[in-house]
């Protein structure tokens, strides 16, 4: 058994741009491409397997029919999703529910996510958190339209990362290119859209009541320890996020790395460089799964990977 590559799919967004084409080299024509769904079994956009004996198969089918590849014990949907987001304009300010709220109110999964900043223009900012001490204070500030006092902006640069648990007020800002690992969910409550209107003069719909119900106050900035740890003579490992749903890390290899896996299976995105992995060429823009049937990895090359796995149940 070898690596299982996925064919990314692309989503036009009003805030999208062309960096997925110019930076990642994906063959897309639209200059308003906001999202690359790189590894997804979600009904809103499912990736298919590229090449090999499973070529053309949707990821959900592989998950359901070949559980031995994932060492999964429970019957449930594929839990994670990996995306690349190109924010050419500011995204609306939003918040996601947790599993409990989402299952009760929406019959969906909740959404924890984390961001790795792939690239950022000089002035690029994100919204991450708010200043209100309580939910009541948050509502009051919204009623008084005091968004600039309420929302916390951060300047960002390449290589930074942010853990975005459910209940975190957040938004990508113009000029950010981000790799996102998240729960497989599309549940988003929009709080504020900078009072922008569409071609017909309409405001986008907001979901204030649901957002108020799920926002955590006060905000706790959750930043993973970002020290890089040497995992071989030519390789470094940096944790990006570690929560109850997923563990995400950056792995930088300059030469070679031999690795024995403990995670049941691994989602891998190549964000820079190229290498040979167990006899297969991998390069920037590739996304693949290392199945449970493959336990030893041998990598030779100059390559940066973002890897993610399900957090094992305790």
Active site residues: 190
Find out whether 227 and 254 touch, Cβ atoms under 8 Å.
no
Find out whether 95 and 191 touch, Cβ atoms under 8 Å.
yes
Find out whether 270 and 284 touch, Cβ atoms under 8 Å.
yes
Dihedral of alpha carbons 203, 37, 214, 99, sign: positive
Rounded CA-CA distance 185/76 in Å is 13
Token code pair at residue 13: 């967004």
Closest CA to 21 of 177, 161, 129: 177
Classify 103 as helix, strand or coil.
Answer: helix
Dihedral of alpha carbons 20, 129, 116, 57, sign: negative
Dihedral of alpha carbons 255, 270, 276, 62, sign: positive
Rounded CA-CA distance 90/235 in Å is 35
Rounded CA-CA distance 197/14 in Å is 11
Rounded CA-CA distance 140/208 in Å is 12
Rounded CA-CA distance 289/269 in Å is 9
CB atoms inside a 10 Å sphere around CB 32: 15
Token code pair at residue 108: 């969906």
Closest CA to 266 of 242, 246, 236, 239: 246
Rounded CA-CA distance 214/168 in Å is 9
Q: In this structure, what DSSP letter does residue 197 have?
A: B
């Amino acid at each position: 058994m070898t690596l299982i590559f996925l064919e990314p799919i692309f989503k036009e967004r009003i805030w999208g741009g062309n960096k997925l084409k110019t930076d990642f080299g994906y063959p897309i024509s639209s200059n308003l491409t906001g999202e690359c769904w790189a590894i997804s079994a979600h009904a809103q956009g499912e990736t298919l397997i590229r090449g090999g004996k499973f070529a053309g198969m949707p990821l959900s089918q592989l998950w359901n029919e070949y559980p031995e590849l994932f060492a999964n014990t429970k019957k449930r949907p594929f839990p994670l999703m990996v995306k690349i987001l190109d924010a050419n304009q500011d995204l609306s300010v939003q918040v996601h529910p947790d599993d409990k709220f989402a299952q009760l109110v929406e019959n969906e999964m909740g959404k924890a996510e984390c961001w790795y900043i792939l690239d950022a223009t000089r002035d690029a900012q994100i919204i991450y958190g708010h200043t209100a001490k309580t939910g009541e204070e948050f509502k009051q500030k919204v009623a008084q339209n005091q968004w600039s006092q309420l929302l916390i902006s951060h300047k960002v640069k390449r290589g930074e990362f942010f853990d975005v648990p459910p209940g975190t007020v957040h938004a990508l800002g113009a000029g950010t290119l981000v790799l996102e690992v998240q729960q497989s969910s599309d549940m988003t409550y929009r709080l504020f859209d900078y009072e922008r209107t569409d071609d017909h003069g309409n405001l986008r719909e907001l979901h204030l009541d649901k957002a108020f119900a799920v926002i955590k106050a006060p905000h706790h900035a959750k930043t993973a320890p970002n020290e890089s740890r040497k995992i071989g003579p030519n390789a470094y490992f940096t944790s990006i996020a570690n929560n109850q749903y997923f563990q995400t890390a950056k792995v930088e290899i300059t030469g070679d790395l031999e690795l024995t896996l403990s995670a049941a299976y691994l989602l891998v995105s190549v964000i820079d460089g190229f290498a040979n992995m167990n006899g297969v060429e991998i390069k920037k823009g590739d996304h693949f799964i290392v199945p449970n049937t493959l336990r030893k990895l041998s990598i030779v090359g100059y390559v940066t990977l973002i890897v993610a796995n399900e957090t094992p149940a305790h």
